[in-house]
Structure 1
């Protein structure tokens, strides 16, 4: 799963508090979707950071 940076894999400390919370929520939702998805080949699940840039 591709999300945050190496130093903050499940967050983005550059964001204001409310946007950081929304970003972390999307990270968890993406992780849950990845766990619930049957994959047969390498698959990358990406947290859409564009909405918070």
Structure 2
């Protein structure tokens, strides 16, 4: 993905096991309820601040 994708009015992803998605906190987002076929599984969410020096 490129930064240009963040300028689109809407963008959807279909994650695979092991995928990680990073995006700026200013990007509006939503997450649907986590459900698995057998009712078992874990969704892990992590938020953090990252500063970079150019």
| Band of TM-score, shorter chain | under 0.3
Larger Rg: 2
Please, what TM-score do these two structures have when normalized by structure 2? Answer: 0.21
TM-score computed with the length of structure 1 as normaliser: 0.21
Larger RCO: 1 or 2 (CA < 8 Å, sep 6+)? 1
Q: Which one has a larger percent helix, Structure 1 or Structure 2? A: 1
